[in-house]
Structure 1
């Protein structure tokens, strides 16, 4: 029997303090067995942009289910910059917060790479920003296992 436990990792993102939570699966011996998701990668745009009326600051929430097609990494880093995500509506590029790379330890960053892998099915809560919503930022990333364990129909 596996248990799900939320592990909070404090990170500073874009000059706004927010806490991301990594959701792990544990075995009966209390050992990590898998990462199931990451929540709170970016703060909602309504908080970040409350004093900015520009088009680039108008973001809309979106929920996407799809497959990771390819991943972009910064040279010398194991943390993704972003990835191409294939959904029923077509391929979208999903950005990860840039400050994420400087705020995580090597151990923490390894878990992100374990979750966001090529040919992995994910559920992503995102903010679609900019003209036409073409700039997409991952807010929460959930593995298929996490969704199935929650009892929701995949």
Structure 2
């Protein structure tokens, strides 16, 4: 399961990789520095008191790693929940019908019809925020001046694909 799904810029990915490599090198250095004295003696491996000291050091490393993991997972879960609530805020506004729009802006039927026509318009508001005037920037053609509708194609081109009826 991926917790973080966002894409990073390549520069940030390189920085992430470098810090991860440095962290692994540091961990390996500490592990080798703690375990090497156990095996680096002329009489063979020492299994005395220093082994327990090394196990104590490894236990501290384990606890630090566990705390880091808990903090990182908690932070990722927090960011995931936060992004869900952010996505809900970005939902589209509910659809308003003509009556709701007319009541909200105190529109008359004539102004609502003018708003529905294509083209650009200048909308004037009064002090209360209601629409007081709508000025269209186009000229409506009378039905006599409008071009005739497009005729359907005489011979429409249809591509018939072979159907495989075998089961």
> Which one has the largest radius of gyration?
2
> Structure 2 length normalisation: TM-score?
0.16
Larger relative contact order (Cα-Cα within 8 Å, sequence gap ≥ 6) = 1
Question: Which structure: greater strand fraction?
Answer: 1
The normalised TM-score by structure 1 is 0.17
User: Which has the larger helix fraction?
Assistant: 2
